[in-house]
Amino acid sequence: MNFRAGQRLRRNDDFRAVREQGRRMDCGAFLLTWRTRPADSQPSNPRVGVVASRASVGNAVHRNRAKRRLREIYRRHQTFVPPGLDLVLTARAALLRLEFADVEQRFANACRKLMPASPPTNG
């Protein structure tokens, strides 16, 4: 389940820009941080980066499991993410205690809040 280079954040500068300039949403099991990319950047597809720290999640086995869960949830629901966004999903310990479907629902609800409001139609 590897993402192509254009689908993920790879450089520390990209992660730093999202954390410093982006907005955050606490989803309980994870923290969703996002930033709209500047208009001059080439790709418009959303990009994602997944983080799990030893302090918040635990040992390597738990961190890897948490990251796999977040990547799979993103893969299933990436169509909900508006184009031109950079996302950083930061795992928390509760991610491993909750059911997969519950975490999936939290991500879908968070993505709905990221969607820009559609303009009213004159029908």
Q: Quick one: tokens of 91? A: 């795992």
SS3 2: coil
At the top level of CATH, the class of 5-114 is: alpha beta
On whether the CB atoms of residues 77 and 107 are closer than 8 A, the answer is yes
User: Could you tell me the pLDDT band of residue 4, with boundaries at 50, 70 and 90?
Assistant: confident
- Residues 88-97 have a mean pLDDT of 93
Q: Which residue has the higher pLDDT, 116 or 99?
A: 99
Lowest mean per-residue pLDDT among 13-22, 32-41, 57-66, 82-91: 32-41
CB-based burial of residue 33 (10 Å sphere; 0-12 exposed, 13-18 middle, 19+ buried)? buried
d(CA 70, CA 73): 5
Q: Does the pLDDT of residue 118 top 50, yes or no?
A: no
What pLDDT, on the 0 to 100 scale, is given for residue 45? 84
Distance of CA 52 to the CA centre of its chain: 12
Where do the structural domains in the chain lie, given as residue ranges?
Answer: 5-114
User: Could you tell me the pLDDT band of residue 1, with boundaries at 50, 70 and 90?
Assistant: low
What pLDDT, on the 0 to 100 scale, is given for residue 43? 61
Q: Does the pLDDT of residue 119 top 60, yes or no?
A: no
